[in-house]
Amino acid sequence: CNQLARRNRAKGTHALGRRQRTAQAVLRLLRAERAGKPGQQVDDMAALVDGAGDEPAFAPEESSMIERVLSVGAHDVRSIMVPRGDMTWLDVADTPEVVVRKFATGHSRLPLCAGDPANVLGVLHFKDVLPLLQNPGPIDLVELAREPRYVMETMPVLKVLDELRASRDHMLIVVDEHGVCEGLVTPMDVLTAVAGDLPEHLEDNAESLRLSDGSWLLDGRLAVDEAARLLEAPALADDYPDATLAGCLLRAGGRIPETGEAISWRDWRFEVTRRDGLRIDQVRASLVLDAVQQ
């Protein structure tokens, strides 16, 4: 019995030591990633987490969490951001009724744009707008907007965490090298990356299905150049600057279409088959008859 007790205590001490070594290795990697230095300990940490044939020091869910934390360090903000075409945003010309409807989608803060989501002027909080919504008349949204905080689309996710801590709005506007908005990121997006599966790139994550009549069911998040490739219509990728099919359809239609409504774009008819709030979730793309006969 004494030998068994000593053996169990030794196993517990060994497992605890491996947990401590893994935690220290993770912290070293995170510090290296924040400093812009490539991490060299990933394989070693994977071996520590797996146990290398020993009795596991981590429960399966703990191992999965550690692996996701490590994988986050290898990605930039584009892998977790809400792309521009999927953003819910306010326009400087929106009426109070439209403002209320957009905030009713479940957001407490929204980017304020000047006619186009590529041009973000600021961030509006619902609590700042609410008192004025109770009075009749127009609202000066620009005056109420807070200064946005911008990050480059190539910024590593771990550095984005520091920026989010420094942001009073808990929202970062992701821009390209020209200062054009490509999307936004919030603490919830980072949490999803760590607590769940890290989203793949849009074109890998979005679904597409060819139907028997020749039409296509396409995810609104599908990259527009990928949609153009599937439809064998390369000109579609040149019309609008948006990254997603949904964003381009919003421009082509000039407004948010209802479910069942169709938008004509070049030689194609795009019927909205499903919406998620204000976001175009799925469309059915059909080549119009006149174009087929030509």
Q: Nearest Cα to 166, choosing from 189, 144, 147?
A: 147
The 8-class DSSP code of residue 40 comes to -
Class level of CATH domain 202-293: alpha beta
The answer to whether domain 79-195 has CATH 3.20.20.70 is no
Q: What angle do CA 264, 268, 272 make, to 5 degrees?
A: 60
pLDDT tens digit at each of 294 positions of the chain? 555 555 554 444 444 455 555 555 555 555 555 455 444 444 455 555 555 455 555 566 666 666 666 666 667 888 889 999 889 999 999 988 888 888 877 788 999 999 999 999 999 998 888 888 777 778 899 999 999 999 999 898 888 888 998 888 889 999 988 889 999 999 888 877 776 654 444 434 456 888 878 899 999 888 888 899 999 998 898 888 667 898 889 888 888 889 999 999 999 999 999 887 778 889 999 998 654 444
Using CA atoms, how far apart are residues 51 and 71, in angstroms rounded to an integer?
19
pLDDT for the residue 204: 43
Q: Which segments of 18-148 are extended strands (E)?
A: 82-83, 90-91, 109-113, 120-125
Total-model pTM: 0.52
Q: Nearest Cα to 167, choosing from 183, 154, 181, 184?
A: 184
For the CA atoms of 218, 220, 224, 229, the dihedral, rounded to the nearest 10 degrees, stands at: -10
